[in-house]
Amino acid sequence: MVGSIYTLGYARPEAAAQLEQLMVDPMMLLVDVRYAARSRWLTQWSKKQLLVRWGERYIHEPRLGNVNYRERHKPIVLADPDAALEQVVSWLHQGFSVVLLCGCVNEQTCHRRLVAEQLLALVSR
């Protein structure tokens, strides 16, 4: 059975509770798709803290990050997605589900939506 794909923007007020609920499943992986896995204002969402909290179920995947994350007027460009997407697809085929994590509030304008769409296309081939 193929796992599921969820997306989460940690700037949303309910993000921490949603993540806790999703991670109850021992087959859930937290895949951080930020180019840089740090948060100056919400430090609990920084790589170090996420590793402490989730251990080996936390994976920072900067190859799925948007290289233009600092310049929102520029188009979304994933850093180096091909091998990273294949890795996540492999986990999905093994039965793991994934939470794609970014900081953006709005999924519709966030690169994590693009990552999720590409994963869905690859899983269904």
Q: Classify the phi-psi angles of 100: left when phi > 0, otherwise alpha if psi is within -120 to 50, otherwise beta.
A: beta
**Residue 5 pairs with which residues in a beta bridge?**
98
76-120 per-position pLDDT tens digit:
999 999 999 999 999 999 999 999 999 999 999 999 999 999 999
Can you give the pTM of this predicted structure? 0.95
DSSP for 17-61 reads HHHHHHTTSTTEEEEE--SS---SS-GGGSHHHHHHHHGGGEEE-
